[in-house]
Amino acid sequence: MPAIEVESVTRCYGKRTVVDGVNLSVPAGTVHALLGPNGSGKTTIVRMLATLLRPSAGSARVLGFDTVLAAAQVKKNIGLVGQFHAVDPRLTGAENLAMFARLNGYAAKAARLHVGELLERFELLDAADRQVQTYSGGMRRRLDIVAGMVVRPAVLFLDEPTTGLDPRSRHEIYEYVRSFVNDGTTVVLTTQYLDEADKLADSVTIIDAGKVVAAGTPDEIVEAVGTGLDVVIADEHRCGEVTEIVGRFGGRPGASHDSATELSFAFDGQSIALLPILRALDDAGIAVQDIGRRRATLDDAFLALTGHTSERISA
């Protein structure tokens, strides 16, 4: 039985539909990533799965429990880490976790023991007696995630768990997520980092305007898009012409680069007519310093499927 099953779920706010007929199945003990541009409905889906919102239509089950009819059972088996800090900055790290433990039914002594184990496991023991407001961003986010794990949930929802963190802190969060899955937890995360989904997720659902536009493993989604093309030109002022010319052959702008003279294009499952493209660029008098095919990336796939670059992804 899948850990999560979503069937034709829709959520409306008045006349506005923010989630439109979404179907989703997440196997137990895996990481599933929800990707989508700003306002695509990712966070709304998570909130419905966590019983914080009711679907306007359709149904969702977590561990076999209906999120509306058996909401209490769902809540007992899940953890949720939202985009904003859930811990009290005026309390110490240990006090915050003890409060969460007591609220979830732990007796005082058992709460202290459990909190000590969590602080040690997640390398927060040295900061346990400091007020959270003195923590770095990475430490505070780590504490948020630990708070979501106090009840050792069977399913953990992580909404943008690494937004705003430096690369080292992001890597630490990745290691924790992997350890959760190794312990048998099913993880559903929304993320604004495509490389994060590529590294962590066993499966991915791409949402755009409330609808599923692609679902599968990262490799399956990338293979559906096909190959990519990288072009490096001498004059950055002619990038628009390059885009127009490559577009004639089916190329769509892909991942962005730091260099203004480097462009990437995705081709929707078709072969790339490299020599005709090169001739067309030469006929236009555009000096090409380098050109070559490459395997498409998840970034290319996202752009091809939604028309948005990954830089515009958010909750």
pLDDT tens figures, 259-289 = 889 998 877 666 688 899 999 999 999 999 9
DSSP code string of 249-295 = TTEEE----SSTTEEEEEESSPPP-HHHHHHHHHHTT--EEEEEEEE
DSSP code string of 137-185 = HHHHHHHHHHHHTTT--SEEEEESTTTT--HHHHHHHHHHHHHHHHTT-
**Is 80 exceeded by the pLDDT of residue 14?**
yes
pLDDT tens figures, 197-253 = 888 999 999 999 999 998 999 888 877 766 788 999 999 999 999 999 999 998 888
d(CA 234, CA 168): 35
**Topology given in CATH for the domain delimited by 227-295:** Alpha-Beta Plaits (3.30.70)
- The more confident residue out of 218 and 188 is 188
Q: Which amino acid is at 248?
A: R
The CATH label, of 3.40.50.1970, 1.20.1740.10, 3.40.50.150, 3.40.50.300, for the domain at 4-221 is 3.40.50.300
In the numeric block, which tokens belong to residue 67? Answer: 């999120």
Q: Mapping DSSP to helix (H, G, I), strand (E, B) and coil, where does residue 198 land? A: helix
All structural domains of the chain with their residue ranges: 4-221, 227-295
66-77: burial string, b at 16+ Cβ within 10 Å, e else: ebeebbebbbeb
**Is 50 exceeded by the pLDDT of residue 141?**
yes
Residue 165 has a CB neighbour count (10 Å cut-off) of 19
